[in-house]
Structure 1
Amino acid sequence: MAASRIGEVVRAGQATLKGGSKPENRLTSHNNCGHTSSMATTSVRSTYSLDMETMRRIDNLARRWDVSKSEVLRRALRIADEQSTRSERVEALKQLQVSMDLSRERAEGWVADIRAERDAWPTPGDGQ
């Protein structure tokens, strides 16, 4: 199917999103190992009210990173989401350690036991 036909098919299937906004579809071109392929991507246009300090920061990051303001927001959201997920995992680990009454000494003893077990295994290529 030709790229222009793909765009027509995608536009024909547009739906109205919650709040009355419509997704914006466009074709993007990706160069993958010397092969160029086109695929439809969907964007949603939204309106937000931001204070001047936040807008100044978005503008500064857009200039520094040499990207659009939308890309700044996408990256910031991705980073914030990853950090919250990471901190949730760390907190879950801490809770697990507390529930197991895992002291530093017990943890170090466990690590030493595991290392000893690993050292007891034959080394690949030593003929055993």
Structure 2
Amino acid sequence: LSPSAFAGAPPAFRTGLAKLDVASRGPLPERAALVGKRFIERIAQALTDARSSATVRGEGLMVGIDLGGQPGAGARLMRALLARGYITTTGGGRREVLVLTPPLIIAEELLEGFVQALGPALEEALS
């Protein structure tokens, strides 16, 4: 007997590969690169404005905000942003990185709203 009928989830992987194939042939990669660059720049400015030691890095619209190795800081910021309507996740061995992976078709106004919410959420999460 197999411990799981769907171990490895081959149908999901095939679906994901098909989606990547279609997406790579359209304008989404270029848009993600352009919009992501602006998003990362705006986050960096928001971190500076908030006098935060956090750093931002990413590629396209896959973005991480490293909260300086503070254990649990990413989780606290994630909760503060969720209270403001933004769904994020965390990464890093100590959940010290906030991970942002918006859809490639996201409206830039929504990204700007996130940037505006970031400063107050940082203050709440890290105080």
TM-score in terms of structure 1 length: 0.29
Larger Rg: 1
Higher share in helix: 1
TM-score in terms of structure 2 length: 0.29
Bigger relative contact order, structure 1 or 2 (CA pairs below 8 A, ≥6 apart): 2
